[in-house]
Amino acid sequence: QQPVQSPQAVILREGEDAVINCSSSKALYSVHWYRQKHGEAPVFLMILLKGGEQKGHDKISASFNEKKQQSSLYLTASQLSYSGTYFCGTPENQNSNSGYALNFGKGTSLLVTP
């Protein structure tokens, strides 16, 4: 089951903030976040493992609320280099014998303009 991301697209001016949300219909134990620039492969940003955990990567941070089965990605003081499509990924299942296959959301397209 794919997680649901919102919004589908965001346009920002340089220096503005944005929030991207990711929610799941089933219990979550972890959430991955990736960024993909046009014509390139997705690049891993961060993983959140515990309920309520927040992590940061430069001026990009994220929170994870396992009770609400959702995660949010925060982009602060956006830079031109933040443009791209952001994906969240949630585990296919929690059976350790089945690896750690992720289901990805459909993505949020972020465009930062000068």
Partner 1 sequence: NAGVTQTPKFQVLKTGQSMTLQCAQDMNHNSMYWYRQDPGMGLRLIYYSASEGTTDKGEVPNGYNVSRLNKREFSLRLESAAPSQTSVYFCASNPTGVYGYTFGSGTRLTVV
Of 60, 107, 110, 112, the one binding partner 1 (CB under 8 A) is: 107
Question: What is the sign of the dihedral through the CA atoms of 18, 72, 102 and 1?
Answer: negative
The three-state secondary structure class of 38 is: coil
CB under 8 A: which stretch of 12-20, 32-40, 59-67, 74-82 binds partner 1?
A: 32-40
Q: Among residues 10, 18, 32, 112, which is the contact residue for partner 1, using CB under 8 A?
A: 32
Q: Which residue has the tokens 């925060």?
A: 74
* Cis peptide leading into residue 7 (ω within 30°): yes
Q: What is the SS3 assignment for 92?
A: coil
Stretch that binds partner 1, among 15-23, 30-38, 55-63, 75-83 (CB under 8 A): 30-38
Q: Quick check: 44 binds partner 1 (CB under 8 A)?
A: yes
* Residue 51 within binding range of partner 1, rule CB under 8 A: no
